[in-house]
Amino acid sequence: MNIAVIGGGYVGVTTSVAFAHSGHRVYLVDNNPHKLAHLSNAQLPFYEEGVKALLQTHVDSGNLTITDDLTATLHHSSIVFITVGTPSQANGQADLSFVNAVARQIGQTMQNEQTIVIKSTVPVGTGKRVKEIIAMELTRRNVDIPFEIVSNPEFLREGKALYDALYPNRIVIGYDSKKAKAVMEQLYNDTNDSILFTSINNAEMIKYASNAFLATKISFVNELARLCERVDADITVVTEGMGQDKRISPLFLQAGVGYGGSCFPKDLQALQQIGQKYGTPMTILQAVENVNHTQVNWFLDKVSQRLGSLHNKHITLLGLAFKPGTDDIRSAPSILVISQLLAQEVQVTVYDPQATSHIKKRFPTIHCATTPLEALHDAHAAILVTEWPEIVNIDWKQAKSFMKESNLFDGRNALSPHYMKQLGFHYEGVGIHG
Ligand SMILES: NC(=O)c1ccc[n+]([C@@H]2O[C@H](COP(=O)([O-])OP(=O)(O)OC[C@H]3O[C@@H](n4cnc5c(N)ncnc54)[C@H](O)[C@@H]3O)[C@@H](O)[C@H]2O)c1
């Protein structure tokens, strides 16, 4: 099929590459000249394992065209995916200006029948609104071109984006006409994965509900971890026991310094705003956010209690990205950790295999090391913030010999407390300090 993808960010690029890989002819449209220049040379504006190589392959093969020409693209395509950003506004509502602008552009320029698929994460009712905008533009042009609206929310995980796009673990399709359903069935006809066909409103809600529930699991466990420390229990064992119950599942039960990234914080805010708009306050989500907002400070209290005044102390952060496998630092806990340490005049050194260039723009005074051992040189304490394999698998014996004081604070419970203590570290994790 001939597919247009509008918005060349994490989701748009990965989606385009995956469709091209499945044999479709894909046109990826972005309006940011800087991004376009990168993508046209098969350079990614972000780090995501495997995507760059496949982008290069399909740009070279001619299966994937990178362009800023939406009009020509619509002429070539019959399915249009909208993958532009939906960031938070100051009040927490999803900013739909990019989605609405694309809808207007489609209505102003389309010449042939289109199925318009919203992949961006959008509040319930957006599909209906996009339909109205396009219909309004067609009326203004005095033309009658048929079009369908579909909601197909994206569930890919950064760090595993390509795998998830190629082998999605579920596909949700919201539609309101037989024609739209038939187009989507044809598009996904070679997938073995389960497809849920439902209404557009349901599909829009499923995306927010999923992210909100995962964030809830994390905050629940983080709050439980605080209690575990008080009652001399170990959160890793408690969650292991909980996870053995199939109804609970062991996934997303790892205690740590909190969630971050481009989705959970903004989607939680957006769902709360939707609740407010419809007179149904999302009280659980307020608590989820509250735990997450206070988790970094709760963890940093351990550092202060151990080191006393942090003034002029040298502290190393191991990991900056909001999770391993990505260079994304949007709303990453590392940002709050660094801000809090700098406020106490700590000398901060950081190491991350992919994200240091982004953090340097935000905090120009911090020292960015190129290896974990260099980062740990002369440190009074290390804080593990992101559990990259290259951090977890440091030669910790050697690391200890590089440090001024052997204080190790594991913000992801990624290391063996027993082994670290055996090596002579003063080790503290999250909810496991008896
Ligand atoms: N990043 C994720 O892991 C993830 C996962 C699932 C869902 N989502 C959702 O997918 C959507 C996109 O997320 P992202 O992280 O890819 O966003 P992003 O900000 O990385 O990328 C959006 C892109 O859209 C482009 N754009 C904006 N307006 C445009 C226009 N009029 N024409 C052409 N291009 C335009 C921007 O230049 C940018 O390159 C969001 O709604 C997000 O919530 C993201």
Ranges of each domain in the chain: 2-198, 232-428
Name residue 2's beta-bridge partners. 25
* Active-site entry in 161, 224, 235, 263: 263
**What count of Cα atoms within 13 Å lies in the side-chain half-sphere of residue 170?**
10
CA distance 158 to 325: 7
Nearest to 342 by CA among 369, 364, 371, 319: 364
Q: What are the residues facing 3 on neighbouring strands?
A: 26, 79
The reply to whether ligand 1 has any atom less than 6 angstroms from the CB of 86 is yes
- Class of CATH domain 2-198: alpha beta
For residue 158, the ligand 1 atom closest to its alpha carbon is 3
Mutate to test the pocket of ligand 1, among 83, 170, 268 (most ligand atoms within 8 A of CB): 83
What distance in angstroms lies between residue 368's CA and the mean position of ligand 1's atoms?
28
Q: Are 115 and 177 in contact (CB under 8 A)?
A: no
pLDDT the model gives residue 42: 87
Length of the chain: 434
Q: What is the CATH number of domain 232-428?
A: 3.40.50.720
- Would you say the CB of residue 8 lies under 6 angstroms from ligand 1? yes
pLDDT (0 to 100) of residue 177:
97
Cβ-in-10-Å burial (0-12, 13-18, 19+) of 18 comes to buried
Q: How far is the CA of 107 from the centre of ligand 1 (A)?
A: 20
Q: Is 431 helix (H, G, I), strand (E, B) or coil?
A: coil
Q: Which of 294, 311, 310, 298 is nearest to 407 (CA)?
A: 310
Instruction: Check for a shared fold between 2-198 and 232-428.
Output: yes
For residue 189, the model assigns a pLDDT of 87
What's at 128, amino acid-wise?
Answer: K
pLDDT at 192: 67
Active site residue 263: yes
- CA of 379 relative to ligand 1 center, distance in Å: 39
Tokens of 299: 């963890």
pLDDT value of residue 386:
98
Sequential pLDDT tens for the chain (434 residues): 999 999 999 999 999 999 999 999 999 999 999 999 999 988 998 999 999 999 999 999 999 999 999 999 999 999 999 999 999 999 999 999 999 999 999 999 999 999 999 999 999 999 999 999 999 999 999 999 999 999 999 999 999 999 999 999 899 999 999 999 999 999 998 776 789 999 999 999 999 999 999 999 999 999 999 999 999 999 999 999 999 999 999 999 999 999 999 999 999 999 999 999 999 999 999 999 999 999 999 999 999 999 999 999 999 999 999 999 999 999 999 999 999 999 999 999 999 999 999 999 999 999 999 999 999 999 999 999 999 999 999 999 999 999 999 999 999 999 999 999 999 999 999 999 64
